[in-house]
Structure 1
């Protein structure tokens, strides 16, 4: 399964936030899905795409992403 997360480039994020988010999100995804590839990049708008997973996979990925963002105080310093 391939997951692509795009973050609006006009959003101001702290230095190092994107690589830290990528590491944490991938770690959480891999605990749920055996074979998972993640791409996080800045783009013109926010977006989340899930390729090659079951229908329920996108909902699960969205939940994992939400939990990852909400727990940023724990993993991003």
Structure 2
């Protein structure tokens, strides 16, 4: 599956957040969908959006839940220590 998460560029995240989100999301998605090869990309765009290519409708629903859980638990896996913010 190819998963693309677009973040509204008018609401920038801390330095390193896109890379950290991509890594954490990849880890969680690969755990849930270990039988398929998955590609996760997180980038800025004009609006928030989630695209899932190569998966079933039910897969997109599961990925939405994983994304929501990942976003809500950012305090557990993302640290801004050492950033220049």
Structure 1: give runs of 5+ residues left out of the alignment.
none
How far does residue 19 in structure 1 lie from its aligned partner after superposition? 0.4
Match of 1:44 in 2: 46
Q: Give the TM-score, by structure 1 length.
A: 0.95
Higher CA-based Rg: 2
CA RMSD, aligned part only?
0.7
The 3-state SS of whatever aligns with 2:3 is: strand
Size of the aligned set, in residue pairs, is: 77
**Residue 70 in 1 paired to residue 69 in 2?**
no
**Which structure carries more helix by proportion?**
1
What is the rounded CA distance, in whole Å, between the counterparts of 2:17 and 2:59 in structure 1? 25
Instruction: State the 4+ residue runs in structure 1 displaced beyond 6 angstroms.
Output: none
